[in-house]
């Protein structure tokens, strides 16, 4: 197992990353390339090319032994380094061990119910997460995973993570295979299988779909809610698309009309799924 994981951001207390107050940990690196990603710089890991270093206006970046080091205390968050990175990445990350992260999490006790790991795609670090969640549980806290569901959670290598996690929040970008590939660069077969599997073992905390004008939104909402009909208590977040942070070439994407969203909510409710309008 890799002893460290690359962390993009830690939000000590978040009310929007799962139920209750949680420490949210965002991992760097993703196996999707979603057109509407709000943090596209989290997709690829930095390759230490050094290109961004001279562009930092306050000297917060240094190249030491072939690696770019970021000084958070000097950084003024201008994001110039992200804008100039030819690789679409960011130097603003840290390598954390499980124990380093536990120290950060423990600072937030007793104000949090637990942690949520997100990204990027946090399940790429599945062994690291398993170890982290076991330690989190020993403190009486819960662990949730925010995932794109591309790695099969039924596979033997993921068994430990599924056991250690209290629940999963799963994005289902589209139930239409072709559309899913267009949106993310990857097929949706495993994502759908993971949704049903997690629901069947009582670990599907929440599903989400981002609603974009022109997408097959009705097909997605109808099919996923029918598939999950046998499993009550699942929450479905229907999220209106907002263009914050997206790459310039995708700024033209729009959310659907309020009336269309109401119709989609009704379909989900008719199929017995609780809806949260976001």
Residue 75 or 181 with smaller CB distance to ligand SF4: 75
User: In sequence order, what are the residues at sequence separation of 6 or more whose Cβ sits closer than 8 angstroms to the Cβ of residue 110?
Assistant: none
Residue 57 or 156 with smaller CB distance to ligand SF4: 57
Burial of 272 (0-12, 13-18, 19+ CB in 10 A): middle
Q: Which residues of 182-205 are buried (b: 16+ CB within 10 A; e: fewer)?
A: ebbebebebbbebbebbbeeebbb
- Single out the residue of 242, 245, 241, 235 nearest to residue 275, CA to CA: 235
Q: What is the closest distance, in whole angstroms, from the C-beta atom of residue 136 to ligand SF4 in the complex?
A: 30
Give DSSP secondary structure letters for 175-187: SSHHHHHHHHSS-
Residue 83 or 189 with smaller CB distance to ligand SF4: 83
Rounded to an integer, what is the distance from CA 111 to the centroid of its chain? 23
Q: What is the closest distance, in whole angstroms, from the C-beta atom of residue 39 to ligand SF4 in the complex?
A: 14
Residue 82 or 227 with smaller CB distance to ligand SF4: 82
Q: What is the closest distance, in whole angstroms, from the C-beta atom of residue 38 to ligand SF4 in the complex?
A: 17
Residue 49 or 227 with smaller CB distance to ligand SF4: 49
**Cα-based angle 127, 167, 140 (whole degrees, multiple of 5):** 80
Q: Which residues bind ligand SF4 (CB under 6 A)?
A: 46-52, 56, 58, 60-61, 68, 70, 75-81, 85, 87, 89-92
């Amino acid at each position: 197992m890799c002893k460290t994981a690359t962390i993009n951001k830690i939000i000590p207390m978040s009310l929007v990353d799962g139920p209750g107050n949680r420490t949210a940990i965002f991992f760097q690196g993703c196996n999707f390339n979603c057109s509407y990603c709000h943090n596209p710089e989290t997709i690829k890991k930095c390759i230490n090319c050094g290109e961004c270093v001279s562009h930092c206006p306050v000297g917060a970046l240094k190249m030491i032994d072939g690696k770019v080091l970021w000084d958070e205390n000097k950084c003024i968050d201008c994001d110039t380094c992200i804008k100039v990175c030819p690789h679409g990445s960011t130097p603003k990350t840290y390598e954390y061990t499980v124990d380093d992260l536990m120290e950060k999490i423990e600072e937030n006790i007793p104000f949090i119910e637990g942690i949520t790991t997100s990204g990027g795609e946090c399940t790429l670090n599945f062994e690291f997460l398993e170890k982290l969640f076991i330690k989190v549980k020993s403190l009486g806290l819960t662990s949730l995973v925010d995932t794109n569901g591309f790695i099969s959670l039924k596979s033997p290598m993921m068994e430990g993570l599924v056991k250690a996690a209290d629940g999963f929040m799963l994005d289902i970008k589209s139930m239409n295979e072709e559309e899913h590939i267009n949106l993310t660069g990857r097929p949706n077969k495993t994502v759908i299988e993971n949704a049903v599997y997690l629901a069947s073992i009582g670990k599907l905390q929440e599903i989400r779909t981002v609603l974009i004008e022109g997408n097959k939104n009705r097909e997605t909402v109808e099919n996923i809610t029918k598939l999950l009909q046998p499993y009550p208590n699942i929450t479905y977040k229907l999220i209106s698309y907002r263009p914050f942070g997206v790459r310039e070439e995708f700024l033209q994407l729009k959310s659907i009309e309020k009336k269309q969203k109401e119709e989609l909510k009704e379909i989900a409710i008719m199929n017995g799924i609780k809806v949260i309008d976001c």
